Amino acid sequence: EVQLMQSGAEVKKTGESLKISCKGSGYDFTEYLIAWVRQMPGKGLEWMGIIYPSDSDTRYSPSFQGQVTISVDKSISTAYLQWSSLKASDTAMYYCAIGLRSFPYFAFWGLGSLVSVFS
């Protein structure tokens, strides 16, 4: 059974750093790309970027380029999303999802990691 296990909820202050994780199981981790998707409270879905675990090739949405870093450790089947300096506007639910390199629609999603940032 395919599972994407995301790290738990985080409460942070503005300016702090944060790294959240997404661990894949039940499938060949290097066969599928991993995407990160933001959902701000009461809002729609925003694609942040993707990483290909096979070669760590990473692509960012222009809206998130330079704001976050996506990485992967394929030895433990885990992808990461990190911030060096959080803002209040980073408060959101963050989902990881997997898709195929050529056809990146997302059949499997994690349950989400809620990040709350207070000043």
Partner 1 sequence: DIVMTQSPDSLAVSLGERATINCKSSQSILYTSNNKNYLAWYQQKPGQPPKLLIYWASTRESEVPDRFSGSGSGTDFTLTISNLQAEDVAVYHCQQYYSSPLSFGQGTKVEIK
- Residues 30 and 14 sit within 8 Å (Cβ to Cβ): no
| The two structure tokens encoding residue 11 | 């409460």
CB 58 within 8 A of CB 67: no
* Minimum distance, C-beta of residue 89 to partner 1, in the bound complex (Å): 18
Q: Which of 47, 71, 73, 74 binds partner 1 (CB under 8 A)?
A: 47
Q: Which residue has tokens 């990881």?
A: 96
Distance between CA 33 and CA 36 in Å, rounded?
10
State which residue, 71 or 99, has the beta carbon closest to partner 1. 99
Q: Is 95 in the site for partner 1 (CB under 8 A)?
A: yes
107 binds partner 1 (CB under 8 A): yes
Q: Considering only the C-alpha atoms of the chain, give the largest distance between any 2 of them, rounded to a whole number of Å.
A: 41
Closer residue to partner 1 in complex, CB, 8/62: 62
- Contact positions vs partner 1 (CB under 8 A): 35, 44-47, 50, 59, 61-63, 95, 97, 99, 103-107, 109-112
